[in-house]
Structure 1
Amino acid sequence: MANAIKTCAVIGTGVIGAGWAGRFLAHGLDVVAWDPGPDAEAKLKASLENAWPALTRVGLAKGADLKRCRFVKTVEEAVKGADFVQESAPEVLELKIKLHAQIDAAARPDVIVGSSTSGLLPTDMQAKCRHPERLVVGHPFNPVYLLPLVEVLGGKKTAPASVDRACAFYQSIGMRPMRVKKEIEGFVADRLLEALWRESLHLINDGVATTADIDDAMRFGAGIRFSYMGQMMIYHIAGGDAGMHHFMKQFGPALKLPWTKLVAPELTEDLINKVADGTTAQAKGRTVKELERYRNDCIIEVMEAIARVKKKHGMSPED
């Protein structure tokens, strides 16, 4: 099925939708895009042009070309000839339900429809679909055109074969599909990130740290470790020769100490300004597009370095 896909419809061309378009194009696919926003076509073009140097560096598939992206005026026109549909509309359930009903009515019945939602349940989005069995969540991470992880799950009416087909397709375009074993709001990765985000806001709100302090704590500490080994394996090593069992026995009691505040602080104007002013200062006058190019180079360097070290240690890319 994955090899039969030649044209992808991208519904919604914001940061995530544009990222999908870039990944599809880089893998030699045609893209038909739609977004109702003002200047959406021009913004998509600018996003793709900004991403293309990074995609060129990691390697383009035969026939990959920005000119293979076409912007259309309606949802129906975008999906009617598509072999795969990826929806990346705003996180508003009512909007998603309406949009998926439109997509479902216009797309061929055998075409898989993936949603980039970061937390809404596929069961809810299926509410008005005639073919709910083909709707899946394919939740990526920004920038979609470089980061490989995509969380995949179906709703109560999704056919297991649709999840299989979606995973096969995502894998064929260089992604690492992770099947979420139960339908749950926020899925897996965003739930972990949400806990970190909430605690960061408390530290800023309480005057413990600035936005720069928090970013330094991550990028010069845990962030470096997380780039090559996840939290569970990091803690397994921290337990010494006895591994995780010893780590849990030694550090487990600390979990009962009131170190963290998982309930989010109130988003007062003062807190919002502290966070926004802090990150603006950190940018040092660089535009978002400039920061995206810097980020892209860093991601590629890290991924290439990890691949070299894995090879040195006899590990496969999947390890």
Structure 2
Amino acid sequence: MTTVAIVGTGVIGAGWAAHFLGRGFDVVATDPAPGAEDRLRADVTAHWPTVTRLGLAEGASPDRLRFVADAGEAASVADFVQENGPEREDVKHALFGVLDEAARPGVILASSSSGLLPSVIARGCPHHPERLVIGHPFNPPHVIPLVEVVPGRDTAPEVVDRAMAFYTAAGKRPIRLAREVPGHVANRLQAALWQEAYSLVERGIATVADIDAAIAHGPGLRWAVLGPFLNQHLSGGPGGLAHVLAHLGPPTEQWWRDLGRVHLTPELAATLVAGVDAELAGTDQQALVAARDAVLDRLLAAKAAQPDLP
């Protein structure tokens, strides 16, 4: 594969474009929004120092980006299609109707959807629903390795195999879900944490800033290295996970029963937004994003240098 179509060039699409350019692909991008090409080229330029630090493939260049006005034209010349349109079923159906019509047979149509079921999106593919798969990245896509590959009811197994191989060859760390579920895996895990975080704020137990600090300066540091199961296993010492489950399982079950159930009311939403505003008072958000990405860059390099990490 040499050419990737990026359909939709917002935050996620621009990150994908920068990543694929950095991996030595030709990228043909499309987005109907006014000024989309200028914004995309500016975003790729802004991302390029980070992409460069992460390592460029031979021949990688932002000059290999081409912008076209029509999604069908982009799909017709692509070896792989990465769609990043709005999270609306009607928009997805209309868009994938065009992509399915224009793409050559056998070209995978991957959606970056963060939670829609691939079987639902595939209703928009009148010819080849078997080639549609979710390829959900994590923001920012040009930095974070994870891609969730999710098949729908009609997705051919060999399409999932090929998508996994493609993302791996493109420098990603894909995981393969056995079946579709709303929100996939990582967003469902995030949603569970957000539910309790929102509840703690709503109940006045901790502030937005304190909850951010509790994760960023506590378990989040370990989670950036190993996942929840391996972290639990290591915390059990010689007894490992079996010891943790035997000794901390009962109190953990009690905590589960006490977790908050929240409704995102206008009042709670206003409280959360105000909390973030207070936490960021006097902070340059662009500088914050740059600092985040610089730390992620160094973290990824450090992890890559440790062969004992999974």
Query: TM-score normalised by the shorter chain: which range applies?
Result: over 0.9
Aligned to 2:226: 229
Deviates more, 1:280-289 or 1:246-255: 280-289
Residue identity in the other structure for 1:144: P
Q: Residue 285 of structure 1: CA displacement?
A: 4.1
Aligned to 1:195: 192
Kindly report the root-mean-square deviation, in angstroms, between the aligned alpha carbons of the 2 structures. 1.6
Aligned to 2:254: 256
2:242 aligns with one of 224, 245, 259: 245
- Whether the 8 Å CA contact 2:92–2:124 is kept in 1: the answer is no
- Whether the 8 Å CA contact 1:201–1:265 is kept in 2: the answer is no
- Whether the 8 Å CA contact 1:198–1:265 is kept in 2: the answer is no
Aligned pairs (5 A) from 1:143-162: 143-162=140-159
Is it true that 1:96 corresponds to 2:92 in the alignment? yes
Is it true that 1:127 corresponds to 2:123 in the alignment? yes
Q: Residue 30 of structure 1: CA displacement?
A: 1.1
In 1, Cα distance between equivalents of 2:155 and 2:135: 13
Aligned to 1:76: 72
- Cα deviation, 1:121-169, whole Å, max 9, x if unaligned, reads 1111111311111111101101111111111121111111111111111
Aligned to 2:16: 20
- Whether the 8 Å CA contact 2:27–2:65 is kept in 1: the answer is yes
Q: Residue 8 of structure 1: CA displacement?
A: 0.7
- Whether the 8 Å CA contact 2:54–2:301 is kept in 1: the answer is no
In 2, Cα distance between equivalents of 1:166 and 1:288: 35
- Whether the 8 Å CA contact 1:153–1:180 is kept in 2: the answer is yes
Aligned to 1:58: 54
- Cα deviation, 1:75-113, whole Å, max 9, x if unaligned, reads 112111111100011111121122111100011111111
Aligned to 1:275: 272
In 2, Cα distance between equivalents of 1:88 and 1:163: 19
Distance 1:274 1:89, change over 3 A: same
1:265 aligns with one of 259, 263, 268: 263
Instruction: Please report the TM-score for the alignment, with normalisation by the length of structure 1.
Output: 0.91
- Whether the 8 Å CA contact 1:238–1:247 is kept in 2: the answer is yes
Distance 1:39 1:288, change over 3 A: farther
Distance 1:38 1:285, change over 3 A: farther
Q: Residue 198 of structure 1: CA displacement?
A: 1.4
- Cα deviation, 1:22-66, whole Å, max 9, x if unaligned, reads 111101111111112232222222221221111111111122111
* Structure 2 counterpart SS, 1:126: helix
Aligned to 1:87: 83
Deviates more, 1:127-136 or 1:285-294: 285-294
* Structure 1 counterpart SS, 2:189: helix
Aligned to 1:168: 165
Residue identity in the other structure for 1:80: S
Residue identity in the other structure for 1:128: G
- Whether the 8 Å CA contact 1:50–1:289 is kept in 2: the answer is no
Aligned pairs (5 A) from 1:97-116: 97-116=93-112
- Cα deviation, 1:156-210, whole Å, max 9, x if unaligned, reads 1111111111111101110011000121111111110001111111112222222
Distance 1:8 1:285, change over 3 A: farther
In 1, Cα distance between equivalents of 2:103 and 2:54: 32
In 2, Cα distance between equivalents of 1:245 and 1:37: 54
Question: How many aligned positions are there?
Answer: 307
Q: Residue 260 of structure 1: CA displacement?
A: 1.1
2:114 aligns with one of 103, 115, 118: 118
- Whether the 8 Å CA contact 1:50–1:293 is kept in 2: the answer is no
In 2, Cα distance between equivalents of 1:22 and 1:174: 13
Distance 1:288 1:75, change over 3 A: farther
In 2, Cα distance between equivalents of 1:198 and 1:37: 34
Aligned pairs (5 A) from 1:24-63: 24-63=20-59
Deviates more, 1:25-34 or 1:280-289: 280-289
Identity between Structure 1 and Structure 2 (%): 44
Q: Where do 5+ consecutive residues of structure 1 fail to align?
A: none
Q: Where do 5+ consecutive residues of structure 2 fail to align?
A: none
Aligned to 1:182: 179
Aligned to 1:218: 215
- Whether the 8 Å CA contact 1:132–1:158 is kept in 2: the answer is yes
